Structure 1
Amino acid sequence: MVNRLRTGIDVLDRKLDGGIPEGSIVALTAEPASQAELFLYELTATRGTLWLSLDRTAEAVLASIEQTPATTGDPTVRHISGEAPLDNAGKLVSALPETSNLIVDPLDVLEAQEPHSRFRAFMNDMQNHIVNTGSLAIVHCLDGHEVPPLRDTTEHFADVVFRLETRVAGDEIENKLAIPKFRGGRAPADVIKLDLVEQVSIDTSRDIA
């Protein structure tokens, strides 16, 4: 039996028979104007976490984590900047300790790097290190107006794909989570309707359309 690592979100862990298989890469795809970061915040409560921020400063990310009412941990946050983000991110990933979380937020910055072969090499190296350390990686993929051309490559590398869809329906905001891909386990056949306000929870107010 492959060891399962909790996501910190009870509804998901129950759906996934206890969590995500260790050594997995999870691609969380969501619109930029969504509450997808709640998934990342709650993951930090499960085990030691290295958070690589490609856009926001480390101070901004830490402030957001401190201000959220969700249960969180005390992650190590590093801002990846400069002209060689793939190299800088790769060095930090290679030092990830055993049984840890790795968050890359957002992956889009790395997906846009040239040549494309360097991104594939980064993903292979990350995948090998995650497997060797029995860790869990979540790569936050923005599904906005400009999706990087290597998004297909990312989802192919990923062992698990979380696809969050957010839309305004009348006077309400609806959040639906689909898990179309799950290597090493059984993907839930149903779409999960979520409340994303202060934490991640099931929306039981109405049936899924």
Structure 2
Amino acid sequence: MNRLATGIDILDRQLGGGIPAGSVVLLTADPASQSELFLYELTTTRGTLWLTTLRSEVAVRDALDRCPMPTGNPTVRDVGGDAPLDVANKLVRDLPEGANLVIDVVDMLERTEPPRFRKFLNDLQTHMVNTRGLTILHGLKGESVPENRDLTEHMADIVFDLETKIDGSEIENRLAVPKFRGGQALDETIKLRLAERVSVDTSRDIA
């Protein structure tokens, strides 16, 4: 099976070489986490279309430029205005073979009517399979999770769940992969350090 690198070596090794081509991945994370680093690393692997629903195109490009680690040069489009689902759907249809798609964040699209959002996800999965591409849907956890998040989790081929805990002066990030179609879900979480880039946290666990 053709595997696509995520740009995060430790994660690719844990997943048996990467993510199966044609997959739709949901990355859920706390709003105050550094989860964008996952997205930045992904842009180094292949051509990427970055659809932003909250931040402006300029803000995303500025963040990429300021990032201390190497990043790619994604095409950034703001779809957070009128009819975001329709705009996103049109851009997805034009994705070339073997491209990355980042939707940051998917929450705004999840707030549309369930039948329309379901159709969007089905069309997205079909296009990813046909073009052997890779999609990352960045979903925020917190107090206002959209009602359609359950639908997103069910439809996604793979779910990455980033848990961030703050204990005094310690910040701990653990990544769980509870769902992995086309591979094996991870039995244990991966303790990560989210600083200049995504790496394994080798510090001793807090007792």
TM-score w.r.t. structure 1 length?
0.97
RMSD in angstroms over aligned alpha carbons?
1.0
Partner residue in 2 for 1:73? 72
Partner residue in 2 for 1:41? 40
Partner residue in 1 for 2:150? 152
Between the aligned partners of 1:26 and 1:208, the Cα distance in structure 2 is: 30
Quote how far apart the aligned CAs of 1:82 are: 2.7
Q: Which amino acid aligns with 1:125?
A: D
Between the aligned partners of 2:170 and 2:81, the Cα distance in structure 1 is: 41
Check conservation: 1:195, 1:201, Cα contact below 8 A: yes
Partner residue in 1 for 2:23? 24
Partner residue in 2 for 1:106? 105
Check conservation: 2:80, 2:108, Cα contact below 8 A: no
Q: SS where residue 131 of structure 1 aligns?
A: helix
Between the aligned partners of 1:163 and 1:71, the Cα distance in structure 2 is: 24
Q: Which amino acid aligns with 1:100?
A: A
Count matched residues. 207
Between the aligned partners of 2:135 and 2:109, the Cα distance in structure 1 is: 15
Partner residue in 1 for 2:118? 120
TM-score w.r.t. structure 2 length?
0.98
Partner residue in 2 for 1:84? 83
Give % identity. 61
Partner residue in 1 for 2:132? 134
Structure 1 unaligned regions, length at least 5? none
Q: SS where residue 141 of structure 1 aligns?
A: strand
> Aligned in 2, Cα 1:208/1:185: closer, same or farther, shift over 3 Å?
farther
Check conservation: 2:191, 2:201, Cα contact below 8 A: yes
Partner residue in 1 for 2:186? 188
Check conservation: 2:56, 2:78, Cα contact below 8 A: yes
Quote how far apart the aligned CAs of 1:8 are: 0.1
Check conservation: 2:43, 2:72, Cα contact below 8 A: yes
Q: Which amino acid aligns with 2:75?
A: T
Check conservation: 1:107, 1:139, Cα contact below 8 A: yes
My pick for the range that moved more, 62-71 or 17-26, is 62-71
Check conservation: 1:54, 1:79, Cα contact below 8 A: yes
Quote how far apart the aligned CAs of 1:201 are: 0.2
Partner residue in 1 for 2:200? 202
Between the aligned partners of 1:12 and 1:69, the Cα distance in structure 2 is: 20
Q: Which amino acid aligns with 1:190?
A: E
Between the aligned partners of 1:19 and 1:208, the Cα distance in structure 2 is: 30
Q: Which amino acid aligns with 1:174?
A: E
Quote how far apart the aligned CAs of 1:207 are: 3.8
Quote how far apart the aligned CAs of 1:70 are: 1.9
> Aligned in 2, Cα 1:208/1:164: closer, same or farther, shift over 3 Å?
farther
Runs (4+) of structure 1 exceeding 4 A deviation are: none
